[in-house]
């Protein structure tokens, strides 16, 4: 019943120019450490046992701000990856980029190195909002970066855009979205600003629009995106060219995680177990560990596999097959019957033969739907 799923690779690059007040990711200001690429490749060497004869079908380089990486470091990294891994012919390789770090020649060389998708953290095209968010770029620089990226050959570009910002009206939100739409990216991630723990915004909460207004921004924004040809396939993801890497996450596929604070998720067919891996969060601790060949990741077995699957896959607007659930968890869908019935009775779920998906109500109240499977 349990089958080996597709395998992706996540690479974490922890440095950034300036830590944003809303950011709870593992990112650090300061000088980029030398030998980080060598540590990444040593880290990967320890993970090769998890390949289990699989090709890598997507790579995502996140951060931090990976676009700070030098061309020589990028070349060293990709040379090392190609020596160690079998890459799928149609592999998607994404680099997260900050418009404030965009250099035309450098990005052309990134393209030559093998990166074929950019995820550009614009967040807003409004300069007042960018200042509020602590971003280092202007709206004009964001527009220019996307235009220049297309000129050097990138035809698969995601734009990250936030809503629910300080003093933001519905009209300003729609202006922001139209600015993104008019640049004709292949994908837009449109998501609400949330005040995460251990961030500056959590310590000093800004005054944000009323909840009803934020809800309306999300609804009107989704409608505008769909009207302009951006299909919603996940909670905050729109486009006719879905992110293959993120689809693998949401379909409970496997991924190797390398880099400071990186997580992985692995299905081991020998022991028939599914577990997560975790690397040291501090870049210094990470470098010390892998420069000294100190060994493997921390490993934690996933106890509630069915819940973890549902937590991810219910984010997909079109849902999933019962066969996918069984092949990714090793469990029968019948085990979930009482919970599925409850979700159906509450009008949060739809089930048609061997297909399960959130109803419109379930998609709008996703936390309530997911919690049913935690019980």
Q: What architecture (CATH level 2) is domain 7-248?
A: Alpha-Beta Barrel (3.20)
Confidence of residue 186 (pLDDT cuts 50, 70, 90): very high
Fold agreement (7-248, 306-372): no
Strands 273-278 and 298-301: antiparallel
pLDDT digits (tens, 9 = 90+) for 21-54: 888 888 888 777 779 999 999 999 999 999 999 9
What 361-370 contacts at long range (C-beta under 8 Å, 24+ apart), as own/partner pairs, is 362/314, 363/235, 363/317, 366/235, 366/314, 366/315, 369/314, 369/343, 370/310, 370/311, 370/314
Under 8 Å between Cβ of 287 and 31: no
**Joined tokens for residue 69:** 């990486």
- As a whole-number percent, the residues of the chain with pLDDT over 70 amount to 98
* Position 1 confidence tier, pLDDT thresholds 50, 70, 90: confident
N- to C-terminal Cα separation, the chain: 24
Query: Whose CA is closest to 221, among 263, 177, 254?
Result: 177
H helices present in the chain, as ranges? 36-47, 71-84, 104-113, 127-132, 139-151, 170-181, 200-203, 211-227, 244-250, 283-291, 305-313, 322-329, 337-345, 360-364, 366-372
Question: pLDDT band at residue 295, thresholds of 50, 70 and 90?
Answer: low
Domain boundaries, the chain: 7-248, 306-372
- Residue pair 163/190 in contact by the 8 Å Cβ criterion: yes
Assigned fold of 306-372: Arc Repressor Mutant, subunit A (1.10.10)
Taking the C-alpha atoms of residue 67 and residue 62, their distance in angstroms, rounded to an integer, is 9
The model's pTM: 0.96
Predicted confidence at residue 291, as pLDDT, reads 77
Residue range 333-338: mean pLDDT, rounded: 96
Which positions ≥6 away from 270 have C-beta within 8 Å? none
Task: Give the per-residue pLDDT at 111.
Answer: 95
Give residue 294's pLDDT.
Answer: 63
Q: What is the DSSP-derived secondary structure letter of residue 15? A: B
**What's the rounded mean pLDDT across residues 353-362?**
95
Q: What is the pLDDT of residues 127-159, one digit of tens each?
A: 999 999 999 999 999 999 999 999 999 999 999
Question: What's the whole-number average pLDDT of the chain?
Answer: 94
Tokens coding 107: 């990005």
């Amino acid at each position: 019943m349990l089958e080996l799923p597709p395998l992706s690779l996540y690479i974490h690059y922890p440095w950034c120019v300036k830590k944003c007040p809303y950011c709870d990711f593992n990112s650090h200001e300061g000088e980029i450490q030398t030998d980080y690429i060598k540590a990444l490749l040593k880290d990967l060497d320890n993970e090769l046992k998890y390949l289990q004869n699989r090709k890598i079908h997507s790579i995502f380089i996140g951060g931090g701000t990976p676009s700070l990486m030098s061309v020589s470091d990028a070349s060293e990294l990709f040379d090392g990856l190609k020596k160690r891994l079998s890459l799928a012919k149609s592999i998607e390789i994404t680099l997260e980029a900050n418009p404030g770090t965009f250099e035309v020649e450098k990005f052309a060389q990134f393209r030559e190195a093998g990166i074929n998708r950019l995820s550009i953290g614009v967040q807003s095209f409004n300069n007042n909002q960018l200042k509020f968010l602590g971003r280092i770029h202007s709206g004009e620089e964001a527009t220019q970066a996307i235009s220049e990226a297309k000129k050097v050959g990138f035809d698969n570009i995601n734009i990250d855009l936030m809503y629910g910002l300080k003093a933001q009206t519905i009209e300003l939100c729609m202006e922001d979205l139209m600015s993104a739409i008019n640049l004709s990216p292949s994908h837009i991630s449109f998501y609400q600003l949330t005040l995460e723990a251990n961030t500056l915004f959590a310590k000093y909460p800004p005054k944000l629009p009323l909840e009803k207004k934020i809800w309306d921004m999300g609804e009107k924004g989704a409608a505008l995106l769909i009207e302009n040809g951006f299909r919603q396939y996940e909670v905050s993801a729109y486009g006719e060219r879905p992110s293959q890497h993120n689809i693998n996450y949401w379909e409970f596929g496997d991924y190797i995680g390398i880099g400071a604070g990186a997580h992985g998720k692995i299905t081991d067919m020998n022991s028939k177990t599914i577990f997560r891996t975790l690397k040291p969060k501090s870049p210094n601790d990470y470098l010390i560990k892998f420069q000294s060949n100190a060994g493997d990741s921390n490993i934690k077995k996933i106890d509630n596999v069915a819940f973890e699957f549902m937590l991810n896959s219910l984010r997909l607007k079109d849902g999933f097959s019962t066969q996918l659930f069984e092949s990714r968890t090793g469990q029968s869908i019948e085990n979930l019957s009482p919970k599925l019935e409850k979700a159906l009775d509450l009008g949060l779920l739809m089930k048609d033969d061997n297909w399960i998906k959130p109803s419109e109500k379930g998609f709008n109240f996703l936390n309530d739907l997911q919690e049913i499977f935690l019980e």
